Structure 1
Amino acid sequence: MVAPKQMGEKSNSEKVREAVSLFLRAGYHLDRDAFNFLCTLSRTKDPTEFLIVALRRLKSRGENPPFIGKVALEEIAKEVFPQAEEIRSTAELHMPMSSLHTGKTQKFQSHVKDVDADVKVIEDPTDQIRSTGSIEEYREYFRDRFKKIQRLLRQRMDSRNATSIKDTFRAPRRSRIKFICMVTERRESTHGVSLATEDLETGTTVFIPRNAPLELLAKTKAILPDQVVCVSAIKGRGNLLIVEDIQFPDIPQREPRRAKEAVSAALISDLHVGSREFMKEEFNRFLLWLNGKFGDKKLKEAASLVKYVIIAGDIVDGVGIYPNQIDDLTIQDISKQYRAASEFIEQIPDYMELIIIPGNHDASRKALPQPRLPKEYAELLCESRSVLSLGNPATIKIHGVELLLYHGRSLDDVLATAADMDFHSPERALRLMLKCRHLAPTYGQRTLIAPSNRDFLVIDRVPDIFHTGHVHVMKFGTYRGTIMINSGAWQKQTNFQRNLGLKPTPGIIPIVNLQTHAVLPIDFNA
């Protein structure tokens, strides 16, 4: 395994090599005279910062020649270094912020370089996935889901004494009863809402009148098929059950765990390397920022605290994910996509820990839960640096702070079917998942879930940070002490998203301070 580049002083030749590599990834080539000019420039100026400026100028002029000559670089140098003045920082030219540092570049010093990494894997499904697709496995899957969430409900004071559906049949008329059930169907009429429910033994139907309290009607509206809840009802004639209240398993209100050290994590997802819409220029800015070479004083201070980079899936765009995808790819071989991704990943400083899980575009099985990336693809990423590769979903602890990592494939289903949801506010869906204590509450929609004797998608532990991706919209919020983050993307709007009317917010990255739990969104767009 090859170690990544160090953050210390580099020779001029190393600086030039890095700069040329950046230029090549942007799709430009230097001729011999231009290369010699860059070598001369590197004696007094940072060649990487200069070429970023040059890329910006060339792009703004609409120029895209196969080779960049010395004359073109000299003209840009005269514009950038009038009368041999100091070059401005790349942040001044690219960061869409109102106040930026304009003095000489300060030497970057990481505050966490010597801090020992502290990562504990709490849950990784990779080595526990067993599935043959038998009918019995489907039964066991739903039994396990029901039992796990039933146990969570019984931890609540208002659901502790809940009985079974069978007990409701024996209850006298007008008695108040509670029972835990799975909602299998919802039917609305002019009189109210009927919910078909079942438990491990039998089933029944409950009724919510149209004139029920607004709070109860709101809860009823939020219920998804296959969700496990506790129903409080009054027994009517025969087996009629009139609902008085519905309790979700929900997470408790609590004080979140915090790191003792001042360390931060950069939460990213959905790079989609290999796509025509991959934002390589913006991602390069992110990498420069991690290395302390991009941004004003405040942003470099934030970079100095980053100890962890976590990628929540879709590292590459994949092949054959959707019809005619081949037309949207610049790299049409998935192994080469991972090879290209490794060239970016290797630039993450070696003192930072990189943690990855797969998404639905990655080279892993599509059904949830997903195992970690197969060895032949993971090794392409690990050739350049150490990588902790986990399955999807996964739970980890970093400096005592617990993170639930999930790519977010089921967000499509929740956002499309739940009430008062839309793709521009994914944090609402994350809140509903926490209330349901399940990452994919409804079975059998767009999200593939493999039958198994265990449901890995139950949220049985309460996370301090809930990190997802998939929908390409960066949003975050807090619910009962848990920070919910959907980390956006590094892919511009695709034709598919345009047809759906979805406007992604790529290139905006949330940085979480694990000690204070402050979230700092940084925009790396020009």
Structure 2
Amino acid sequence: MLLEGLRYLVAMGAPWDEILPVLRAKGIVPTASVRQPLMKLEDLSSVLECAEAVGFERGFLTAEILEDMVAVWQGKQRMKTSTQPTPKPEIKENKQPSTSHAATDLGRTIAPINEPEPLDIQFRNNLPDWKESDFSEHASDASTDIVVHYDITGNSTTEGKMTDITSCFSDRLQSIRKMIIQNSRLPRTPTEIVRLHAESSRYQGYENKAVAIGLVNEPRYTKNGHLIWNLEDETGELTCLLTKRKGDDRDRAHEQILEAGLMPDDVLGVSGTFSQTGDMFYVDDLHFPMKDRHTKAASEHGVSVAFLSDIHVGSKTFLEAQW
């Protein structure tokens, strides 16, 4: 009776009320996710026979298990097509059925190997998506004139220790601090954070503002939409708060920063005042290292440029398809 039911279910589009008793007779409990795929199978009986090949005997049939079974069945179909005897006489004379059968068993495709597909990446910081039609040509089609000014290969003296990492961030902080002082309109000379904490009572109220420059740590939002982060330099750490203003106090530049957020390890300057308790620094203005006026260099051809930094090869966040 069971074999007759399986032969009947070979036809594509068998009704579910006839598929279910056959599955239950084999001790298989289908989940909701496999109902439609089972009804669309071309040869359900042959697919069920592949259960042993994927290590499934009985129990809950999930979509993942069904996909593996279908993959095994498709592999067998391809093997049958590829192992059909040819009309050449010399092939028939030397043909050994036992060897061919063994090769067929060893050549089963357990799971097909598919090319990775690019993931739908959501851009952060409100950056718009790009379209390939916006560019007149690919970067690989444009003429290149690359000059290597310095090659680190064989010349690196660091060992990847914590002292090397700290030295790198300290040097970066000092370099960008000079750029901020030179290019930004700071209300006063920046002060070390440890000194600001010691003299926090001097910088309360709007008349006497303090200025600090450091690295951004742990940027986060409050439940009211305010942006809070820790600013760190060589001497200490400062908790900063950029409030979300309303009405006449709205500031478009501040709103853009609140929308985009801040990146960890960014170097920037802040000016503002301390709270009455001295544990919070209210930010009035942010100061970045860019210049007020910047002359853009234009290319004769419209091309796209890819900048590579930490590409996370081998990690869980590595985008294999895009790479």
For the superposition of Structure 1 and Structure 2, which TM-score range results when normalised by the shorter chain? 0.3 to 0.5
Q: Which has the higher helix share?
A: 2
TM-score (norm 2): 0.43
Q: Which has the higher strand share?
A: 1
TM-score (norm 1): 0.27
